[in-house]
Amino acid sequence: MTKKSSLADGYIHGFSSNEQDRLYQQARVHEEIIFSQIDFSNQTNIVEVGSGVGAQTQIMLERFPHLKINCIDASETQVDRARKTLKDKISSGQVQVNVGDAMDMPFQDNQFDGAFVCWLLEHVQNPIGILKEIKRVLKANGVIYCNEVFNSTFYCHPYSPSTLKYWFEFNDYQYSLKGDPFVGGKLANYLMAAGYQNISTKVLTHQYDNRTPKKRAQFIDYWAGLMLSGADNLIATGRVTRELVEEMQKEFNQLKKDDDSVIFYSWILAKGQVF
Ligand SMILES: C[S@@+](CC[C@H](N)C(=O)[O-])C[C@H]1O[C@@H](n2cnc3c(N)ncnc32)[C@H](O)[C@@H]1O
């Protein structure tokens, strides 16, 4: 019997080709911080759940070239793009890409020795159900890494009220879609509830100020792109006006110009194990 779908009621970022390109760029922006904390050298066969366009898959294949990776994502559009990007690895049999719901995966019990989940649980209705489903397909001693947003941590200086108003609406909209923009803070509880053990969490951070002006400017550009990825949906639902979006863009330009600006964002990487 098919389990209840865990898909949220909508997807704030949309599936345009610009948005797909943004996912590849985003993966590289966070790569060093996230993957310096991830070790799949003792795994051979992992599942990547909510794999999107395969941006993280590419990175894992570069860093752990021995891995076999089975990807699954609910969106045909994202999976089509992943199939193009990962064409050679799919032909060689190293990677498989499936369309499917993380809540009801077409995999056998105890099939994998590792799992990777990145920026997925903020978009779903039943994160614990998904973590249980992942546990089902993991072997004894299998590990899961779960990297998830914690959107209340965003800070910038100078004070940017339009950006903060927009950010509130962005996060509130995700809540209204039955997602969770603060899911990172609950990851340890969710992993415990799903039956994992040896749970650990790390707070990962982008923090840029006068020490690193070039990285600060790059991160401001990335962050502006992330915020704007929700703009069409937020305007269409009447949550923000075009004027507010323009004011926010002006604030981002000001952040880039200001010699003393600060931008800060933290999120959570959790690890668990199956026994
Ligand atoms: C923000 S993207 C992240 C993609 C990828 N992990 C990355 O970091 O580039 C979230 C992905 O989760 C997928 N997704 C959302 N709900 C899902 C579900 N219930 N089952 C499988 N995939 C889902 C979406 O289609 C989307 O591709």
The CATH number given to whatever domain includes residue 125 is 3.40.50.150
Considering only 8-22, 72-86, 160-174, which range has the smallest mean pLDDT? Answer: 8-22
Prior bond to 65 cis, omega within 30? no
Domain extent at residue 253: 17-273
CA distance 103 to 120: 12
Q: H/E/C letters for each residue in 215-228?
A: HHHHHHHHHHHHHH
| Beta bridge mates, 145 | 116, 271
> pLDDT for 80-124, tens place per residue?
999 999 999 999 999 999 999 999 999 999 999 999 999 999 999
Q: What is the pLDDT of residue 19?
A: 84
Report the atom number in ligand 1 closest to the C-alpha of 101.
20
Does ligand 1 come within 6 angstroms of the Cβ of 230? no
* Dist. CA 120 → ligand 1 center (Å): 5
At 37 the pLDDT is: 98
Q: Is residue 9 part of a domain?
A: no
pLDDT of 200-244, one tens digit each?
999 999 999 999 999 999 999 999 999 998 999 999 999 999 999
Is pLDDT of 3 > 70? no
Is the CB of 146 inside a 6 Å radius of any atom of ligand 1? Answer: no
Report the nearest atom of ligand 1 relative to the CA of 48. Answer: 6
Which contacts of 165-173 are long-range, i.e. CB under 8 A and separated by 24 or more positions? 165/240, 165/244, 166/227, 166/234, 166/240, 166/244, 166/245, 166/248, 167/227, 169/234, 169/239, 169/240, 170/12, 170/227, 170/230, 170/234, 172/239, 173/12, 173/230, 173/233, 173/234, 173/237, 173/239
CA 169 from chain center: how many Å?
A: 19
Rg (CA), the chain: 19
Q: Is residue 10 part of a domain?
A: no
pLDDT bucket at 4, cuts 50 / 70 / 90: very low
55 lines ligand 1 (CB under 6 A): yes
Q: What is the pLDDT of residue 7?
A: 52
Q: What is the pLDDT of residues 166-211, one digit of tens each?
A: 999 999 999 999 999 999 999 999 999 999 999 999 999 999 999 9
Q: How many separate domains does the chain show? A: 1
Q: Is residue 58 part of a domain?
A: yes
Does residue 169's CB lie within 6 angstroms of at least one atom of ligand 1?
no
As a whole number, mean pLDDT of residues 39-63 equals 98
**Whole-number pLDDT of residue 18:** 84
Question: Residue 242 and residue 264: Cα distance in Å, rounded?
Answer: 25
48 contacts 57 by C-beta, under 8 angstroms: yes
- Pocket probe mutation, ligand 1, options 21, 97, 120, max atoms within 8 Å of Cβ: 120
Decide if 4 is inside a domain. Answer: no
Classify residue 5: in a domain, yes or no: no
DSSP string, 191-218: HHHTT-EEEEEEEEEEEESTT-HHHHHH
Long-range contacts of 256-262 (CB under 8 A, 24+ apart): 256/217, 256/220, 256/221, 258/158, 259/210, 260/157, 260/158, 260/209, 260/210, 261/156, 261/157, 261/158, 261/209, 261/216, 261/220, 262/155, 262/156, 262/157, 262/207, 262/208, 262/209, 262/216
Pocket of ligand 1, candidates 29, 123, 151, 180: which has the most ligand atoms within 8 Å of its Cβ, to mutate? 123
Within a 10 A sphere around the Cβ of 176, how many other Cβ atoms? 15
Cα 208 from Cα 274, distance rounded (Å): 37
How high is the pLDDT of residue 1?
34
Residue 229 included in any domain: yes
Residue 47 CB–ligand 1 contact under 6 Å: no
Atom of ligand 1 nearest to the CA of 130: 19
Q: Which tokens in the block code for residue 187?
A: 């990851």
Please state the pTM of the whole predicted model. 0.94
251 within domain boundaries? yes
Position 1 in a domain: no
Amino acid letter, residue 260 = D
Nearest CA to 261 among 208, 218, 224, 225?
Answer: 208
Does ligand 1 have an atom closer than 6 angstroms to the CB of 126?
Answer: no
Cα–ligand 1 centroid distance for 116 (angstroms): 12
Q: How confident is the model at residue 164 (pLDDT cuts 50, 70, 90)?
A: very high
